[in-house]
Amino acid sequence: MILKKKTIVITGGTSGVGLEMVKRLSMENDVIVIGRSAKKLKELTAQLQNIHVYQADLISLDDVESVAKKIRNDFINIDVLINNAAVQYTARFLDKKFEFSNVTDEISVNFTSICSLTYQLFPALQHDNRALILNVNSGLALAPKKSSAVYCASKAALNSFSQSLSYQLEDTNIRVLQVFLALVDTPMTQGRGENKMSAVHAANLIIKGLSNEKNSHYIGKVKLLIILLRVLPWLAKKIMKNN
């Protein structure tokens, strides 16, 4: 798909990789940004052109349904939906700082809200032209690590959902794509890991894969992980365990 003069919806577009995608995509497209922070959304509209912002907390399915309805009322057709927003908590179940409420929050943002928003926006995605749904995933969907068990599980669920949904939509105008990221330098990963990919580089690679409609796009070290899972799955799991 040629990403020019398209209407693109993106979640989590006020920081990290999402923000870098918004900066680039808004140069030649109308970009609809769904975010939780009213302040950040206001700053975004002051900085960039071709931006339309909608406030919603993806933890709340009522918010997701409400914002989707507003977008459908404002835009007849949507060409691209990028489900990018995610949260990750690193506390282990036996840690004193573990908070049970984070479990439902993490699942809601990383998985349930994606299912809901995708369904709610189907009427705008179903039109005469090609439409794309891009689910931004992680290498942890393929091999989990010791910490962030709920995050890993939610990303694995997203992988399965994306594949199944793509089967359901085979005979429609909509294609479902996934991108699997390695560790990227964002506010969410602050203080964790080394040799991170920059958010700008990650965003550029994601957009390139989106343009080429890559069904499963593996970025950075995830390419090596895929090879290891095929030839030495035990080693891949060992490496990822403490990643």
Minimal CA–CA distance to 142: which of 213, 199, 227, 70? 227
- Looking at 92-193, list the stretches that DSSP marks H as alpha helix, in order from N- to C-terminal side: 101-107, 113-120, 122-125, 149-168
**Strands (E) located in the chain:** 7-11, 30-35, 51-55, 80-83, 131-138, 174-181, 184-185, 197-198, 216-218
151 is annotated as an active-site residue: yes
Say how far apart CA 14 and CA 5 lie, in whole Å. 21
Q: Exactly one of 54, 89, 119, 151 is catalytic; which is it?
A: 151
Contact 133, 174 (CB under 8 A): yes
Helix (H) / strand (E) element for 60: namely none
Buried b (16+ CB within 10 A) or exposed e, 109-135: bbbbbbbbbbebbbebbeeeeebbbbb
What sign for the dihedral angle of Cα 90, 93, 98, 101?
positive
Distance from CA of residue 21 to its chain's centroid? 11
Residue positions annotated with a catalytic role: 151
